[in-house]
């Protein structure tokens, strides 16, 4: 009798299955309700535990601890990226964030950069993607980051017009593989590393065709 009581308390989803034909409608309803509630409770707390593990394995600064507990929206993301960018000694300070789209666990950042040439543009986008991903994937709610880059291109009428010329996406599983400190140094010497690791990307043909020093196996899209 005692074992049955403990079973209904701790493993009702099993007990309902075992005793379904032996119990009346009221115990069936109560047992099913308790089983669903218990499963929901376990899953919710498991997700919370996994998020804690994700961040607790990394040494966080006070500002990073504040960031991972912040709601994801355009304002909080833009504020965090501006702060981190100002602290880093890399040349992406002239990259302008146009706007940010947030859809559940997916973030799309649209940036503008007027470059010296096509290679400068793509190199800067690569550095920007690496830095932004390091920041954004630290947040436990982020599962996908996309960077969309805009610059001036000459249109058919011979006028310069702003166009989106690059799109690059990383998933959380890609970010989890990286040692960002070492990877950032690698990007200094090989900007294509950011694209080679990407889950998807596309570079405008007018930009891609004029890239200097690109490897022969580097394609304009994936």
- What pLDDT score does 52 carry? 46
Annotate 183-208 with b (16+ C-beta within 10 A) or e (fewer): bbeebeeebbbbbebbeebbbbeebb
- What pLDDT score does 134 carry? 92
- What pLDDT score does 56 carry? 44
Cα-trace Rg, the chain: 25
User: Which segments within the chain are labelled E, that is strand?
Assistant: 96-103, 106-112, 144-154, 160-171, 200-203
Distance in angstroms (rounded) separating the CA atoms of residues 221 and 67: 33
Q: Is 93 exposed, middle or buried (0-12, 13-18, 19+ CB in 10 A)?
A: exposed
- What pLDDT score does 68 carry? 84
- What pLDDT score does 49 carry? 44
Distance in angstroms (rounded) separating the CA atoms of residues 189 and 187: 5
- Per-residue pLDDT 10s for the chain (222 aa) are 545 554 545 555 555 555 555 666 666 666 566 556 656 655 665 554 445 444 444 566 777 788 888 899 999 999 998 888 877 655 666 889 999 999 988 999 999 998 889 999 999 999 999 999 999 999 999 999 999 999 998 878 888 899 999 999 999 999 999 998 899 888 888 999 999 999 999 999 999 999 988 887 888 898
- What pLDDT score does 203 carry? 96
Q: For residue 171, give both structure tokens.
A: 């998933």
């Amino acid at each position: 009798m005692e074992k049955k009581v403990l079973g209904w308390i701790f493993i009702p989803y099993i007990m309902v299955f075992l005793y379904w034909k032996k119990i009346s409608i009221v115990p069936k309803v109560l047992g099913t309700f308790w089983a669903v509630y218990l499963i929901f409770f376990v899953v919710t707390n498991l997700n919370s535990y996994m998020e804690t593990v994700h961040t607790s394995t990394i040494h966080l600064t006070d500002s990073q601890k504040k960031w991972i507990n912040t709601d994801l929206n355009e304002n909080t993301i833009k504020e965090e990226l501006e702060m981190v960018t100002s602290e880093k000694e890399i040349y992406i300070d002239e990259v302008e964030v146009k706007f940010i789209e947030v859809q559940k666990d997916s973030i799309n950042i649209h940036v503008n950069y007027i470059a010296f040439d096509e290679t400068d543009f793509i190199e800067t986008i690569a550095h920007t993607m690496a830095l932004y991903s390091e920041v954004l994937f630290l947040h436990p709610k982020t599962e996908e980051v996309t960077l969309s880059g805009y610059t001036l291109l000459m249109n058919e009428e011979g006028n310069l017009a702003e166009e989106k010329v690059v799109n690059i996406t990383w998933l959380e599983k890609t970010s989890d593989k990286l040692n960002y400190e070492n990877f950032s140094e690698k990007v200094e010497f090989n900007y294509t590393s950011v694209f080679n690791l990407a889950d998807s990307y596309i570079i405008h043909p007018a930009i891609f065709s004029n890239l200097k020093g690109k490897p022969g196996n580097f394609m304009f899209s994936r």
